[in-house]
Every structure is written in structure tokens, then in C-alpha cells.
């Protein structure tokens, strides 16, 4: 891969950064807590059989490429959504 710091093609090691836990004071977390307190019974949304909310199982993974010569890292432009990420060494 091309290293913009060395200005030549070098071998890079690939690091996958897993998504962290969601913050407890973010706007979405505060909204969910408000919905739980003011919702339908003890749930934030009406939980009928025809309208159950599903849990998202796809997260966005960031890929970092680190140059083996100068040890500087380049982050991928935008993380890719995937259920499972594997690196296959050749």
C-alpha cells in the first residue's frame, strides 16, 4: 500500500478497531430513558406482536493501516458496516 509519509509503497499491517460502547449521556440514550419513563407501561414503545422492534446486529468497523517502515497509521475514510470482520493473511 502507498504510504503518504514515506512517499512510496510499503508493507502495512491492518488493524481492525471494534466499535465502543455507546455513551450514557448522548442524546439518544437520554431520549430512550425518557421514553422508558413515559412510555407504554414499562416499555418505551407499544410492544404488540405485529410491531416488535428488532436489535441491530450490524456495526461499523474502522480499519487502520500502519506502515511497517515509519510506524505511522492511516485511518480508512469511513468504516464499513459488517456483521463480522476477518483478516486473512496471505
What pLDDT digit, counting tens, does each position of 8-67 carry?
999 999 988 877 777 888 888 887 777 777 765 666 565 555 556 667 778 888 889 999
* pLDDT of res. 39: 64
Mean pLDDT computed over 73-85: 83
In a domain, 88, yes or no: no
In a domain, 90, yes or no: no
CATH code of the domain covering residue 45: 3.10.450
Q: Alpha-carbon distance 57 to 84, whole Å? A: 10
* Contact predicate 69/7, CB 8 Å: no
Show the domain range for 24. 2-82
In three-state form (DSSP H/G/I as H, E/B as E, the rest C), the secondary structure along 27-50 is: HHHHHHHHHHHHCECCECCCCCCC
Q: Quick one: cell of 14? A: 491492518
In a domain, 69, yes or no: yes
In a domain, 10, yes or no: yes
Kindly report whether the global pTM for this prediction surpasses the value 0.75.
Answer: no
Counted domains in the chain: 1
In a domain, 74, yes or no: yes
Highest mean pLDDT among 43-47, 66-70, 76-80, 84-88: 66-70
Cβ-proximal residues to 43 (8 Å cutoff; 6+ apart), any chain = 36
Amino acid at each position: 500500500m502507498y504510504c503518504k509519509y514515506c512517499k512510496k509503497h510499503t508493507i502495512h499491517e491492518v488493524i481492525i478497531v471494534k466499535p465502543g460502547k455507546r455513551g450514557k449521556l448522548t442524546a439518544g440514550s437520554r431520549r430512550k430513558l425518557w421514553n422508558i419513563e413515559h412510555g407504554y407501561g414499562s416499555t418505551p414503545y407499544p410492544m404488540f406482536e405485529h410491531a416488535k422492534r428488532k436489535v441491530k446486529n450490524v456495526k461499523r468497523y474502522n480499519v487502520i493501516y500502519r506502515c511497517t517502515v515509519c510506524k505511522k497509521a492511516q485511518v480508512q475514510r469511513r468504516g464499513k458496516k459488517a456483521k463480522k470482520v476477518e483478516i486473512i493473511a496471505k
